[in-house]
A = this chain, B = another copy of it.
């Protein structure tokens, strides 16, 4: 029974990945400096077309052309925040899906407020780790440990539902199990390997992949989000088979994402309703 459900999810994930490959959605990425390389390579390997254009001088011309927008606050500064806000406003106004990665949301009051302001601009999806989602749900600046989570993803399920309900976004929490909720339903994705957390920006990269998947079918943000998380995790599992450490895992993960075939996706994706 559960096996049948997983197969259905696998088939769904394969359909989305195939569409990303054939339609090559254009994804505007306003993301942090650390993650730009891995993010662009993740999108390219999945078949999408990344464009790291961020300037407020350009978004009025450029955002109307894109299929989705990805905003990540990792190396936030007061220079970049208006660029993020303008692009998010444009995306919302144009009914284009946009996805937020609230990196280290609780690390400072400035950052927390920036994330909450961005959330008021109606992201389609928010993906963070447990500490980030809890900080946002409580709207509280707390001593999280930098960009790494000090909570398990299971700790954040209620916070995620609450944030989904208050924001209208689908909320995803990454961890040993990834959770995705629209405030009502919850699904869990159990793909990936622990060593992925030893590679910088894998969280940022998978959020960008979510943007590419959501671009394919914006009215099913929960399904596309769960699928992107699982597909990235499957690529990590395959990459781990020959990895000798975090750096070779990174290489193999991207290679695997590029080469994923139907069998690997359908048999590998582990998504279930909770």
Given contacts A49-B146, A146-B66, contact A201 B55 (CB under 8 A): no
Instruction: Report the nearest B residue to A110, measured CB to CB.
Output: B57
| C-alpha gap A141/B136 in the complex (Å) | 40
Residues of chain B lying within 8 A (CB to CB) of residue A41: 199-200, 246-247, 250
Does A148 lie at the interface of the complex (its beta carbon under 8 Å from any beta carbon of B)? yes
Which residues A58-94 have CB closer than 8 A to chain B? 58, 60-62, 65-66, 74-79, 83
Q: How far is the CA of A79 from the CA of B33 in the complex (A)?
A: 15
Is the Cβ of B245 less than 8 Å from the Cβ of A256?
yes
Given known contacts A44-B200, A104-B53, A58 and B79 CB-to-CB distance under 8 angstroms: no
Q: How many residues of A contact B (CB 8 A)?
A: 66
B247 and A254: CB pair below 8 A?
Answer: yes
The residue in chain B whose Cβ has the minimal distance to the Cβ of A34 is: B36
Copy count, this protein chain: 3
Which A residues from 7 to 36 make CB contacts under 8 A with B? 26, 28, 32-34, 36
Contacts of A109 in B (CB 8 A): 61
Chain B residues positioned under 8 Å from A243 (CB to CB): 255
Q: Is A185 an interface residue (CB 8 A)?
A: no
Assembled-state Cα–Cα distance A107/B50 (Å) = 13
Question: Beta-carbon contacts of A178-221 to B below 8 Å, as 1s and 0s?
Answer: 00000000000000000001111100000000000000000000
Are A247 and B45 in contact, with the CB atoms below 8 A?
yes
> Contact at A110–B61, with CB atoms within 8 Å?
yes
